[in-house]
Amino acid sequence: MDSAPPPPADGTDDHPLRAELRTWLEEHPTPSGRQLAGRGLVAPHWPPPWGLGADPTLQLVVDEELRRAGVRRPENTIGIGWAGPTLLHAGTEEQKERYLVPLLAAEEIWCQLFSEPGAGSDLASLTTRAELDGDEWVVQGQKVWTSYAHRAQFGILLARTEPDAPKHQGISYFVCPMDAPGITVRPLVDMTGTHTFNEVFLDEVRLPRENLVGERGQGWSLGKVTLGNERVSLSGAGALWGMGPTADDLVATVRDTGGTSDPILRQRLARVWGEGEILRLLRMRMVAAAVAGVPPGAEASVRKALADDHGQHIMDLARDLAGASAMLDGTGPAPGTPDAGPWPDAMWSYGFLFAPALTIGGGTSEVQRNIIAERTLGLPHDPEV
Ligand SMILES: Cc1cc2nc3c(=O)[nH]c(=O)nc-3n(C[C@H](O)[C@H](O)[C@H](O)COP(=O)(O)OP(=O)(O)OC[C@H]3O[C@@H](n4cnc5c(N)ncnc54)[C@H](O)[C@@H]3O)c2cc1C
pLDDT tens digits, 273-328:
999 999 988 887 877 776 676 766 667 778 888 999 999 999 999 989 887 777 66
Binding site membership of 221 for ligand 1 (Cβ less than 6 Å): no
pLDDT of residue 38: 97
Nearest to 43 by CA among 7, 88, 10, 11: 88
Binding site membership of 136 for ligand 1 (Cβ less than 6 Å): no
Nearest to 227 by CA among 75, 74, 361, 68: 361
Binding site membership of 121 for ligand 1 (Cβ less than 6 Å): yes
Residue 244 has pLDDT above 50, yes or no: yes
DSSP 8-state code for residue 131: E
Q: How far is CA 357 from the centre of its chain?
A: 13
Asked if 28 and 68 touch (Cβ cutoff 8 Å), the reply is no
**What is d(CA 381, CA 213) in angstroms, rounded to the nearest whole number?**
30
pLDDT of residue 231: 57
pLDDT of residue 235: 53
Q: How far is CA 230 from the centre of its chain?
A: 5
pLDDT of residue 71: 95
Exactly one of 64, 230, 275, 299 is catalytic; name it. 230
pLDDT of residue 291: 65
Distance 149 CA to ligand 1 centre (A): 17
Instruction: Name which residue leads in pLDDT, 334 or 287.
Output: 287
What is the mean predicted confidence (pLDDT) over 203-222?
A: 97
Ligand 1 atom at shortest distance from the alpha carbon of 357: 53
Binding site membership of 57 for ligand 1 (Cβ less than 6 Å): no
Q: What is the CA angle 239-354-106, rounded to 5?
A: 75
**3 state DSSP class of 204:** strand
What is the mean predicted confidence (pLDDT) over 33-60?
A: 91
230 catalytic residue (yes or no): yes
Q: Letter for the amino acid at 1?
A: M
**3 state DSSP class of 45:** coil
Asked if 213 and 341 touch (Cβ cutoff 8 Å), the reply is no
Residue 342 has pLDDT above 80, yes or no: no
Residue 79 has pLDDT above 70, yes or no: yes
Binding site membership of 120 for ligand 1 (Cβ less than 6 Å): yes
pLDDT of residue 78: 94
**What is d(CA 270, CA 313) in angstroms, rounded to the nearest whole number?**
12
Binding site membership of 199 for ligand 1 (Cβ less than 6 Å): no
Residue 60 has pLDDT above 90, yes or no: no
pLDDT of residue 11: 46
Distance 114 CA to ligand 1 centre (A): 11
Indicate the pLDDT class of residue 111, thresholds 50, 70 and 90: very high
Of the listed ranges 40-44, 109-113, 260-264, 287-291, the one predicted with least confidence: 287-291
Q: Which of 143, 188, 241, 364, when mutated, tests ligand 1's pocket best, judged by the most ligand atoms within 8 Å of its CB?
A: 364
pLDDT of residue 330: 55
Asked if 138 and 204 touch (Cβ cutoff 8 Å), the reply is yes
Distance 357 CA to ligand 1 centre (A): 9
Verdict on whether the full-model pTM lies above 0.85: yes
Residue 344 has pLDDT above 80, yes or no: no
Residue 147 has pLDDT above 70, yes or no: yes
pLDDT of residue 13: 58
Q: Kindly list the structural domains of the chain, giving each domain's residue range(s) and its CATH number in brackets, ordered by start.
A: 17-69 (no CATH), 110-217 (2.40.110.10), 234-376 (1.20.140.10)
Q: How far is CA 312 from the centre of its chain?
A: 17
pLDDT of residue 332: 43
Q: What is the CA angle 347-345-69, rounded to 5?
A: 75
The answer to whether the bond into 49 is cis (omega within 30° of 0) is yes
Q: Which of 37-41, 329-333, 339-343, 350-354 has the highest mean pLDDT?
A: 37-41
Q: Which residues contact 75 (CB under 8 A, 6 or more apart)?
A: 106
Distance 5 CA to ligand 1 centre (A): 47
pLDDT tens, residue by residue, 356-371: 999 999 889 998 898 8
pLDDT of residue 199: 98
pLDDT of residue 206: 98
Residue minimizing CA distance to atom 37 of ligand 1: 121
**What is d(CA 285, CA 281) in angstroms, rounded to the nearest whole number?**
6
pLDDT of residue 233: 53
